[in-house]
A = this chain, B = another copy of it.
Amino acid sequence: MSEILAIGSYTETDMEGLREMGARVVESLDAMRGLPEAERAEVRAVAYKGHHDFGADEMALLPGLGVIANYGVGYDAIRIDAADAAGVRVTNTPDVLNDDVADLAVAMLLMQQRRMLAGDAHVRSGAWAGGESFPLNRKVSGRRAGIMGLGRIGRDIADRLAAFKMEMHYHARSEKETPGWTYHADPVSLAREVDYLVVALVGGPETENYVSKEVIEALGPEGVLINISRGSTVDEAALLDALEAGRLGGAGLDVFRDEPRVDPRFHALERVVLQPHQGSGTHETRAAMGRLQRDNISAFLDGRDLLTPVN
């Protein structure tokens, strides 16, 4: 019996932190649904780590619920309108993962352009030792980069790319104060002006397929799309078609529409770097995310201000 219920698969470090708070931990929303009514009634705070919808039905099963502390910056699995209606506060874990996600975005871009997966295989296979030369590829520094969504992660990506002497462009809802970066009100115009397009949008219904067929085609046969946001932000069917037909130069993808069930058409693509949604997947950052999730719960239970509220 506990007023804190943690839902999801947590690391050893996080399990220890949760146990210290006296939390009960279950693996999934289904497991939560299977708890006896009396136990569900005790729950005042949920630590949530998952991608399945946490909506009105789930909240109704926890009548004493006051806060859902999401593990992750993207909280698109939690229905904010339902939370508002039920008087439930929602928190997330912003900022602590920005560095890692930005690092991965830059790394995927460099790997894609310098063909480093193929380079490693060229050495390991013995092809290089056997006298086969490795093809030339494309220079990265000094090119034109576009950031789609200039929030905190987008800005951390842009700051890194600027150190590679790139000409910076961006699209966002409104023009921001930047060190001379070029604003594009229209996402297609952004894609047309750059060599690399890095998607750093928030997830959710408003950005569904925001990187449309038109954006992808505007990026063009020499262009590279990097996505570290959510699979939902990109029209994945259009992306696959364009990559297969050579109408898009390449991609670096950490997120997918139906992940982890990645469309097998991706497996055969050579000019693409694929990663298993590991943007924030470092020991350091996951520990910081867990701490922030628990600190939000403690703040709520102690009646203090939430650290990183969403609603």
Q: How many residues in A have their beta carbons less than 8 Å from beta carbons of B?
A: 57
Q: How far is the CA of A223 from the CA of B79 in the complex (A)?
A: 43
A-B contact pairs, 8 of them (CB 8 A): A11-B136, A100-B141, A107-B111, A123-B276, A134-B278, A137-B278, A137-B281, A137-B282
Number of copies: 2
CB of A120 closer than 8 Å to a CB of B: yes
A95-148 contacts to B, CB under 8 A, are 99-100, 102-104, 106-108, 110-111, 114, 116-117, 119-120, 122-124, 126, 128-129, 131, 133-134, 136-142
Chain A 176-197 near chain B by CB (<8 Å), digits 1 or 0: 0000000000000000000000
Are B103 and A110 in contact, with the CB atoms below 8 A? yes
Residues of chain B within 8 A (CB-CB) of A77 are: none
CB of A274 closer than 8 Å to a CB of B: yes
A260-275 contacts to B, CB under 8 A, are 260-262, 264, 266-267, 273-275
* A7, chain B: closest CB distance, angstroms: 17
Are B274 and A141 in contact, with the CB atoms below 8 A? no
Residues of chain B within 8 A (CB-CB) of A282 are: 114, 136-139
Q: Determine which of B100, B102, B116 lies in contact with A273 in the assembled complex, contact meaning CB atoms within 8 Å.
A: B116
Are A117 and B120 in contact, with the CB atoms below 8 A? yes
Q: Determine which of B108, B117, B136, B159 lies in contact with A281 in the assembled complex, contact meaning CB atoms within 8 Å.
A: B136
Are A99 and B260 in contact, with the CB atoms below 8 A? no
Q: How far is the CA of A137 from the CA of B119 in the complex (A)?
A: 22
Assuming the contacts A117-B117, A136-B281, A164-B160, asked whether A276 and B99 have C-beta atoms less than 8 A apart, the reply is no
Residues of chain B within 8 A (CB-CB) of A275 are: 116, 119-120, 123
Q: How far is the CA of A311 from the CA of B141 in the complex (A)?
A: 30
Are B142 and A274 in contact, with the CB atoms below 8 A? no
